[in-house]
Structure 1
Amino acid sequence: MGIEFPYRLYLVVSQESCAGRSIIEVAEQAIAGGVDIVQLREKNIPTEVFVERAMLLKDVLDKHNVPLIINDNLEVAMKVGALGIHVGNNDTPPTGIRATWGAPHCLGYSIEYLEQLQTDQTKASDYLGVSPVFSTATKTDTVTEWGLGGLARIRALTDKPLVAIGSINVDNAFEVVRAGADCLAVVSAICQAQDPAKAAEGLRNEIEKAL
């Protein structure tokens, strides 16, 4: 039995994505607008800096009872006491993470092929990232652009929670949820917005309408 995943609007944030603002500022505004889980994704900074940044973010998230997920750095996730970790196909495999960290930590895994739904890595995961639903400039190392049809096919083949990511915005959020997503993960539509709270609120409203 995996960990529960009741979240609907998932902010993926890095310092680079925040348009010159601090991660803390963007995250707090996004939470005010309806974000209920946050992933810190930092690929090109030293681990000690990643830990410091994650601790500052977690302190803020804890005040709002919003969980923190760390992208692909198990050392950071363990040191800061994050709810969990998210990995892709080129990262530490979920079975390896389970062997080191175990349950009840939340483990997300991005899939790029339908065949992955039957693997031990998927079985070890608590939720699946459908990445990308639509092509995106923020993640260029993926194989499959799933589209709404691909998302619907995955939904028909698994009971695991599905987190859709990839050019999700207020104009397509409704149809992505209707196609089978349990949760929408967003980078640019919130982080690059002039008003992150308003952007998050618009997305959250579309999610709620689709449920």
Structure 2
Amino acid sequence: MRPWDAEAVRRAMKMYLVMGGVNTTQDPVEVLRQAIAGGITLFQFREKGTGALVGEARITLAMQLRQVCSQHGVPFIVNDDVELAVAVEADGVHVGQEDADAALVRARIGDGRMLGVSAHSVEEARRAVQAGADYLGVGPMYPTRSKADAHAVLGPAGVTELRAAGIAVPIVGIGGITPDATGAVMAAGADGVAVISAIAGAADVRAAAAHFAAAVRGMQA
């Protein structure tokens, strides 16, 4: 059996933190530790944007964050960089629609690593699943400032539409989600929520993560 079957991916999706050094004014390694203590279940390293690390500094940070995840049994995903993912022995790769072709990424990482793909429509979702995506990142759910290249807001209805169209793979909603909005996203059919600044930019990272984790648990009670 593949290490990342649908149920394993679904469990990992519940509370998904996306972060790079540009998303926090604190030490990102400590931010990740606090977020894990607060209850995140999966981490994606996304080092993009103004001031993002490059070269050896980027690799070093990725390895430090990977080590923290490994110590706590939290899957570690790399955004849009297969070479880095392989170098740090990441659990998977996530690509957007404007990034590398999902089918080519799947061919390069094999079946042993998780593949996530961003999708903003039924057509994109179907192509991603056909290319071998283990899960879809769908959004933005709400307006967000964390991504300069964010698409138009889909809202939870975007998840509902994908489920109604027969898209069965795990889905994580992303974009402007707050703990109070978590219920609406999951009620629409998402398996979990992904956040960036709501946790990475919080003054109390552990408490922020815990609020989200509690909201997710509340939907599963």
The TM-score range, normalised by the shorter chain, is over 0.9
Q: Structure 2 residue aligned with 1:139, among 147, 151, 166?
A: 147
Q: Which stretch shifts more, 83-92 or 145-154?
A: 145-154
- The TM-score with structure 2 as length reference comes to 0.90
| Structure-2 separation of matches of 1:107 and 1:85 | 5
Q: Does 1:148 align with 2:156?
A: yes
Q: What is the correspondence of 1:14-93 to structure 2 with a 5 Å cutoff? A: 14-18=20-24, 20-43=25-48, 44-93=52-101
Which residue of structure 2 lines up, in the alignment, with residue 9 of structure 1? 15
Q: Does 1:103 align with 2:111?
A: yes
Cα shift readout 1:89-131 (whole Å, capped 9, x = no counterpart): 1111110112222112000000122212332x33210000002
Structure 1 counterpart SS, 2:149: coil
Q: 1:155, 1:162 within 8 Å by CA — same for their partners in 2?
A: no
| Structure-1 separation of matches of 2:124 and 2:200 | 30
Deviation, 1:185, is 0.5
| Structure-2 separation of matches of 1:143 and 1:188 | 17
Deviation, 1:36, is 1.1
Q: 2:125, 2:136 within 8 Å by CA — same for their partners in 1?
A: no
The residue type paired with residue 186 of structure 1 is V
| Structure-2 separation of matches of 1:47 and 1:76 | 10
| Structure-1 separation of matches of 2:32 and 2:121 | 31
Q: 2:63, 2:88 within 8 Å by CA — same for their partners in 1?
A: yes
| Structure-2 separation of matches of 1:127 and 1:47 | 29
- The TM-score with structure 1 as length reference comes to 0.94
Q: Does 1:122 align with 2:129?
A: yes
Q: Does 1:206 align with 2:206?
A: no
| Structure-2 separation of matches of 1:206 and 1:111 | 24
| Structure-1 separation of matches of 2:32 and 2:119 | 26
Structure 2 counterpart SS, 1:149: helix
Which residue of structure 2 lines up, in the alignment, with residue 161 of structure 1? 170
Following TM superposition, the consecutive aligned residue runs of length 4 or more in structure 1 with deviations greater than 4 angstroms are: none
Identity, % of aligned positions: 36
- Structure 1's unaligned 5+ residue stretches are none
Structure 2 counterpart SS, 1:171: helix
Deviation, 1:50, is 2.0
Q: Structure 1 residue aligned with 2:120, among 95, 112, 122?
A: 112
Question: How many residues in Structure 1 have an aligned counterpart in Structure 2?
Answer: 209
